[in-house]
């Protein structure tokens, strides 16, 4: 019987230092702040790392410095496609600075969101992004730079807020439907801050034009099932509706189900507009008209605001609105009658 060779041990920072002919502290400096090391020594260390297949220990790096190079992101519903572009935008801006994003998903509710934030803080993240309804205590005493992404209820004035201009986006949706000649319009909304701003922009513009408007779901959620239930209520109570604006693309998908269940078609009988311009809206099967709120740019600017605050915690609070646009596809048309 032949004995199995023991697994080779992982190379350490000391092995890299010995091969490169430098001190372990200089290897650590190359890994954390390479600009402070001469090019010749940087290349020697990097060549040794490549030859040995060395992978830095994040735990060791954390112990050696005061930062984990980790940013915590709290969301309240992973099914909401808005978060996909937000995360993509954040990562595009953070990666080049050596940061990674740790995601925590929580169901709506102040306690759940606080638990998610506390879990990230326990991991010693360098900064925190709240993309959920924070409630009264989540944003107090986090101890790290914190930025809120998207409209949320009850955000203190001393906290950075980077968000879409959802009032303007709601107005864009209203202008499009009114321009097509719709005067009997429904809106599927929700209870969150973003939904409230989209509703306000839409409501103001429709009522200013003197058109009929019916709103469903103001106190509910914004999932596909919520969209289906609200659209069912709307069409059962106001069957004369010729157009529906949904607070997000996922709710719009639920509206499609409610419309189909009543033997109606989009857009021949009812036009539908979503919000977020998500991958769902871009699907060749749906071709959903949608407001593009540029959540990717929100993510980029959230990351930049957080990096600025990490560098200078004394900076004044930042408030920024990202301008939306309307992407017209095949789910909106002039009313048939």
Look at residue 8 in the predicted model and tell me its pLDDT: 59
Look at residue 141 in the predicted model and tell me its pLDDT: 67
Look at residue 24 in the predicted model and tell me its pLDDT: 85
- Residue-range domains of the chain with CATH: 13-64 (1.10.260.40), 70-164+295-323 (3.40.50.2300), 166-293 (3.40.50.2300)
Instruction: Tell me the per-residue pLDDT of 100-142, one tens digit each, with 9 for 90 and over.
Output: 999 887 765 557 778 888 888 888 889 899 888 776 666 666 7
| Rg value, the chain, Cα | 25
Look at residue 132 in the predicted model and tell me its pLDDT: 84
Q: Two tokens at 64? A: 């050696």
Look at residue 121 in the predicted model and tell me its pLDDT: 85
Q: Which residues contact 1 (CB under 8 A, 6 or more apart)?
A: none
Residues of the chain with pLDDT under 70: 1-8, 57-66, 107-110, 135-141, 337
């Amino acid at each position: 019987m032949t004995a199995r060779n023991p697994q080779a041990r992982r190379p350490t920072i000391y092995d890299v230092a010995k091969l490169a002919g430098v001190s372990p502290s200089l290897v650590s400096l190359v890994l954390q702040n390479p600009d402070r090391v001469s090019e010749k020594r940087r290349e020697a260390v990097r060549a040794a790392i490549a030859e040995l297949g060395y992978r830095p220990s994040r735990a060791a790096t954390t112990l050696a410095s005061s930062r984990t190079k980790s940013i915590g992101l709290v969301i309240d519903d992973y099914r909401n496609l808005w978060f996909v572009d937000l995360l993509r935008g954040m990562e595009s801006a953070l990666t080049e600075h050596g940061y990674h994003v740790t995601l925590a998903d929580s169901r709506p509710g102040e306690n759940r969101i606080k638990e998610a934030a506390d879990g990230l803080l326990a991991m010693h993240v360098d900064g925190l992004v709240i993309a959920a309804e924070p409630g009264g205590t989540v944003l107090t005493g986090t101890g790290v730079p914190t930025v809120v992404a998207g409209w949320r209820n009850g955000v203190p004035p001393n906290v950075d807020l980077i968000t879409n201009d959802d009032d303007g986006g709601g107005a864009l949706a209203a202008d499009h439907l009114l321009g097509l000649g719709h005067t009997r319009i429904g809106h599927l909304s929700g209870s969150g801050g973003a939904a409230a701003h989209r509703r306000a922009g839409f409501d103001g513009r429709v009522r200013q034009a003197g058109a009929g408007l019916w709103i469903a779901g103001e106190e509910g959620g914004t999932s596909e099932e919520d969209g289906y239930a609200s659209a069912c209520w709307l069409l059962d109570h106001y069957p004369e509706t010729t157009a529906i604006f949904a607070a997000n693309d996922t709710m719009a998908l639920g509206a499609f189900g409610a419309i189909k269940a009543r033997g109606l078609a989009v857009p021949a009988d009812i036009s539908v507009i979503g919000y977020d311009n998500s991958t769902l809206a871009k699907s060749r099967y749906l071709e959903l008209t949608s407001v593009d709120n540029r959540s990717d740019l929100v993510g980029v600017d959230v990351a930049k605001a957080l990096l600025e605050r990490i560098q200078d915690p004394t900076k004044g609070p930042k408030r920024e609105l990202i301008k939306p646009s309307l992407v017209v596809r095949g789910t909106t048309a002039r009313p048939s009658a």
